[in-house]
Amino acid sequence: MRFGVNTFIWESPLSTAHVEALADKAAQLGCDVLELACEDPALLDFPRVRDALAARGLEPVVCGAFGPGRDISSDDASARQGGVAYIRQLIDAAALVGAGIVCGPMYSQTGKARLLSDDARGAERRRAVSALKGLADYAAERGVRLALEPLNRFETDMINTVQQGMDFLAEVDHPAVGLHLDTFHMHIEEKSPAGAVRLAGDRLFHFHACENDRGVPGTGQVAWESIALALRETGYDGAVVIESFTPAVRSIAQAVCLWRPIAPDQDSIAREGLRFLRQLFVD
């Protein structure tokens, strides 16, 4: 198992200069993986990013940010087209940097939380499934897999639980599409996060480790021992990545409703979290 961090801990939006500095930091902190939060792909020179990570022995993962205008489920054709174009950019970026995974809640726009009629919800779902079928083919041709992240009920009304995610995967019906689970969201939505991991089984492509308050793993209420056991039992061999946020990165703090410090500083999230995860999974 490999351990890493998401660049959201330190910077947003991410640029090439950020990556070159953060790659040194991540390597010094003992990361195996650096997850690149690609809010604006135009800010990143992906060949330079690839070389920066390779020089430090870091495995890349590409993470998307699905704001307005990037919604493959929308009834607005321009938003659907924007979502498809953005996900294709992420897939191209992953292929360029040598990342096997593109992750995130790419089935819809983050922040859509509404009561809809069954007909309207079904239409949204069909649009997302249709788009993902084509995107999955595009990804598979480039050696990339898509990992869809269920979010909590306050951030999406489409996929909140692993069961909903598995039902959605059955409709997409493509081996290049799986799930990306996050302990923060699971702590809110799942009766048993460990049971949810087992349900995902071999469709689990990527894993985010974050505390129930989005803080340092191991400092809160998440049932880490049972989750670690479930990951071992399912044979998960992907990356375990800390995705956390601080008020220092104001644009993301606003987006995730983070109004107070959850750690002494940004580096502590990575340093202490990685130490805990290595002890949990390795020692």
In this predicted model, what pLDDT tens digit does every residue of 12-22 receive, in sequence order? 899 999 999 99
Q: What pLDDT is recorded for position 7?
A: 96
Per-chain mean pLDDT for the chain:
94
Q: Which residues are catalytic?
A: 149, 243
Here the tokens at position 87 are: 């996900």
Backbone CA torsion sign across 36, 38, 44, 45: positive
CB 179 within 8 A of CB 204: yes
Q: Any idea which of 64-78, 198-212, 260-274 has the lowest mean pLDDT? A: 260-274
CATH 3.40.50.1220, domain 2-281, yes or no: no
In this predicted model, what pLDDT tens digit does every residue of 138-191 receive, in sequence order? 999 999 999 999 999 999 999 999 999 999 999 999 999 999 999 999 999 999
Q: Any idea which of 130-139, 180-189, 237-246 has the lowest mean pLDDT? A: 237-246
Which one has a higher pLDDT value, 257 or 10? 10
Q: What pLDDT is recorded for position 262?
A: 72
Helices (H) and strands (E) in the chain, counts: 10, 8
Q: For the chain, report the end-to-end CA distance as a whole number of angstroms.
A: 12
Quickly state the pLDDT bin for 196 (edges 50, 70, 90).
very high
Instruction: Inform me whether the pLDDT recorded for 272 exceeds 90.
Output: yes
Q: What pLDDT is recorded for position 43?
A: 98
In this predicted model, what pLDDT tens digit does every residue of 4-45 receive, in sequence order? 999 999 998 999 999 999 999 999 999 999 999 999 999 999
Q: What pLDDT is recorded for position 251?
A: 63
In this predicted model, what pLDDT tens digit does every residue of 39-94 receive, in sequence order? 999 999 999 999 999 999 999 999 999 999 999 999 999 999 999 999 999 999 99
CA-wise closest residue to 205 among 146, 139, 165, 150: 146
The DSSP string of 32-83 is: SEEEEE-S-GGG--HHHHHHHHHHTTPEEEEE----TT--TT-SSHHHHHHH
Instruction: Inform me whether the pLDDT recorded for 256 exceeds 90.
Output: no
Q: What pLDDT is recorded for position 282?
A: 83
Q: What pLDDT is recorded for position 265?
A: 84
Quote the percentage of the chain above a pLDDT of 70. Answer: 94
Q: What pLDDT is recorded for position 133?
A: 98
